[in-house]
Chain A
């Protein structure tokens, strides 16, 4: 897979090898074009693996989910009607496959409700960081967040990736699914809502909570270094 990094408004974004438009791509796949299949397989599988990991407990199972999804896509190509983008259609199959698989697992990840769960409520920053009603400025920082060292310092870059990967593993399933799609992958809010069948408001709550957890953990590294 060719992955290039370029500066965008949200920082670095990944531009993956450009795929042809949906109608051409689907026509090529239906015609049995192996090169087209290899291209789409390489472009999407990494992000599909990350999403599958929100539903099942091991990397090996996630890989099986991705494999089963692609097999279902190959066999079900005739059923694609173009009502959503092809990518969203594939990801919906992934989510359904992963949910079924998660339900069979002993240590299944809870994904029973489409609504945010208990872990998705309450403040995302420790309330003790803000002044109480008796303070000079209630609701304002007691002490401003510590400044961070630049994460672009190469010595820190590898460590940061490990930290982030570790936090993703600990996030509640729904938050992990949303942040994997939005920030690690490059899906839009609309696509995430469609893939996970959640409302725009829920999507935002889950994403915000997940980001706040990752920020807090990064603060432990970059703040101390700053």
Chain B
């Protein structure tokens, strides 16, 4: 496997979606290539950082409106 092929298969590898033969070639390349090992690690870091984005809450006014609407719907 070449590096330019490896970089396109990273998400499939992380999802466990590669077929056994491709996965074997992927891991074989990973063991030999420092650049790709680093690329994979940086992909993992990227995914972890995406998961760190703080939640964006609804504005309090919209939230209150929705809670009121729920109450009204069930009262009516």
Chain A residues in the interface with B (C-beta under 8 A): 1, 3, 5, 10-14, 32, 34, 37-38, 41-42, 45-47, 49-50, 63, 66-67, 70-71, 74-75, 123-125, 127, 130, 137-141, 143-145, 147-148, 151, 157, 160-161, 164-165, 179, 183-184, 186, 189, 200, 204, 207-208, 211-212, 214-215, 218-219, 222
Contacts and interface: CB of A to CB of B under 8 A. Distances in A.
Interface in B23-58: 33-36, 38-39, 42-58
Nearest to A1: B55
Contacts of B3: 130, 139-141
| Interface residue SS majority, chain B | helix
Contacts of A207: 11
Contacts of B70: 32, 34, 37, 74
Nearest to B1: A139
A148 B46 CA distance: 11
Contacts of A63: 58-59, 62
B11 A123 contact: no
Q: Give 3 closest A-B pairs by Cβ, nearest first.
A: A11-B48, A139-B2, A32-B74
A212 B12 CA distance: 13
30 contacts: A10-B47, A12-B48, A32-B71, A32-B73, A37-B67, A63-B59, A63-B62, A66-B62, A123-B8, A127-B4, A137-B2, A140-B4, A140-B35, A141-B35, A141-B36, A144-B34, A144-B38, A145-B38, A145-B42, A148-B42, A151-B49, A161-B49, A161-B52, A161-B53, A189-B15, A211-B50, A215-B42, A215-B43, A218-B46, A222-B45
Interface of B: 2-5, 7-8, 10-12, 15, 17, 33-36, 38-39, 42-59, 62-63, 65-67, 69-71, 73-75
A147 B62 CA distance: 44
Contacts of B49: 11, 151, 160-161, 164, 218
Given A10-B51, A208-B12, A41 B66 contact: yes
Contacts of A215: 42-43, 46
Contact of B10 (A12, A32, A208): A208
A145 B43 CA distance: 12
Contact of A49 (B10, B56, B69): B56
A74 B4 CA distance: 49
A139 B5 contact: yes
A41 B33 CA distance: 47
A151 B45 contact: yes
A138 B10 CA distance: 20
